[in-house]
């Protein structure tokens, strides 16, 4: 096989057959005739000297060898797509576009300052920002849909990925939120051990819920959850109404509800570590390199 490399076009056909389970559907998908699809699959089987699919009364089914080859073909297809995206980025450098993914609290607080400074220095470069959840950010990075992104973790669940280069940006403390009328509202710092008898508000299906659970457990008690909310604005509203106390990362409460007091927690028991992430392989464009520098200038100003 060393002197007879497999045709990438035939691998694309195999991928389509694997996805559709039908020569007819693959033909429509690739805008080819059914006979052409069948011929190319036959040629691929002849090249490899092994059956890759079984013809059924309705459709086709890949053999074990066919499925194995399709898995490798999918990786090749993704790598080629990533390579083409990188080349396209270099080709259009004169026009200039930087694509960034971040999470909502960073987008609402730090990101505007980064965008303002970048536009001041590089007014001809377009900036595209997508704000979403961590898994979607990670997916967009790995698919090369964005050049750089912000990711975060907590000390008890550190994040790492072999395909990503992570640059520490800042450490963000977890803050305590109490209503203005609360007995602790005049305090500048509170120890979690003082809060065992309190009721709590937290976000539903969100990492801050696990942060509350972890911090309370380390302080020797289990939190009494009074309410689950959908976002930090709603959470602050419920705190102001006296339903319970809450925890939030500092970036989420830079502009707090006027009826809520934001208090430091002693020993910063749950620091959220924020990273700038980019793909570990290949060079980055000059326009992306500049935005990386600005992230490093602005983000540390929001630490602590």
Beta-carbon contacts of residue 259 (< 8 Å; ≥ 6 apart): 179, 180, 240
Roughly what angle, to the nearest 10 degrees, separates helices 8-20 and 64-91?
A: 120
Domain with CATH 1.10.10.10 in the chain: 8-90
CATH number (3.20.20.70, 3.30.420.40, 3.40.190.10, 3.10.129.10) of 174-265 reads 3.40.190.10
**What's phi and psi for 62, nearest 5 deg?**
-70, 145
Residuewise pLDDT in 10s, the chain (304 residues): 445 567 788 888 888 888 888 888 888 888 889 888 889 888 888 888 889 888 888 878 889 988 888 888 888 888 887 777 766 655 554 457 899 999 999 999 999 999 999 999 888 888 999 999 999 999 999 988 899 999 999 998 899 999 999 999 999 999 999 999 999 999 999 999 999 999 999 998 888 889 999 999 999 999 999 999 999 999 999 999 999 999 999 999 999 999 999 999 999 899 999 999 999 887 777 888 889 999 999 999 998 7
Strand 272-279 relative to strand 164-172, pairing: antiparallel
Pick the CATH number of 98-169+278-302 from 3.40.190.10, 3.30.499.10, 3.30.70.2190, 3.30.1490.190: 3.40.190.10
Q: Is the pTM of this model over 0.85?
A: no
Cβ atoms of 298 and 118 closer than 8 Å: no
**Which residues belong to CATH 3.40.190.10 in the chain?**
98-169+278-302, 174-265
The DSSP call for residue 138 is: H
Helix and strand counts by DSSP (H, E) for the chain: 10, 13
Which residues are registered as beta bridge partners of 202?
228
What are the structure tokens assigned to 114, written together? Answer: 């980064």
Which CATH class for the 8-90 domain? mainly alpha
Give the three-class secondary structure for 99.
strand
CA atoms within 13 A on the CB side of 36: 12
């Amino acid at each position: 096989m060393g002197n007879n490399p497999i045709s990438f076009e035939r691998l694309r056909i195999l991928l389509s057959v694997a996805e559709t389970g039908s020569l007819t559907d693959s033909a429509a998908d690739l805008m080819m005739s059914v006979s052409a699809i069948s011929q190319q699959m036959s040629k691929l089987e002849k090249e490899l000297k092994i059956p890759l699919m079984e013809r059924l009364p309705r459709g086709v089914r890949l053999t074990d060898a066919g499925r194995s080859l399709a898995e490798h073909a999918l990786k090749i297809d993704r790598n080629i797509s990533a390579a083409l995206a990188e080349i396209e980025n270099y080709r259009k450098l004169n026009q200039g576009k930087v694509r960034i993914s971040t999470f909502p609290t960073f987008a609402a607080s730090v990101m505007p300052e980064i965008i303002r400074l970048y536009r001041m220095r590089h007014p001809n470069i377009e900036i595209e920002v997508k704000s979403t959840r961590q898994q979607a950010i990670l997916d967009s990075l790995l698919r090369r849909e964005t050049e750089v992104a912000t990711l975060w973790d907590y000390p008890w669940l550190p994040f790492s990925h072999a395909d990503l280069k992570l640059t520490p940006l800042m450490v963000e403390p977890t803050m305590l939120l109490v209503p203005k009328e609360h007995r602790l509202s005049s305090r500048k710092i509170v120890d979690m051990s003082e809060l065992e008898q309190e009721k709590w508000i937290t976000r539903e299906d969100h990492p801050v819920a696990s942060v509350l659970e972890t911090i309370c457990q380390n302080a020797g008690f289990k939190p009494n959850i009074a309410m689950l909310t959908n976002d930090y604005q709603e959470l602050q509203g419920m705190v102001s109404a006296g339903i319970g106390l809450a925890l939030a990362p500092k970036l989420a409460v830079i502009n707090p509800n006027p009826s809520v007091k934001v208090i430091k927690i002693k020993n910063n028991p749950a620091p959220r570590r924020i990273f700038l992430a980019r793909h570990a392989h290949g060079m980055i464009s000059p326009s992306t390199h500049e935005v990386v520098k600005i992230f490093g200038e602005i983000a540390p100003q929001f630490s602590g």
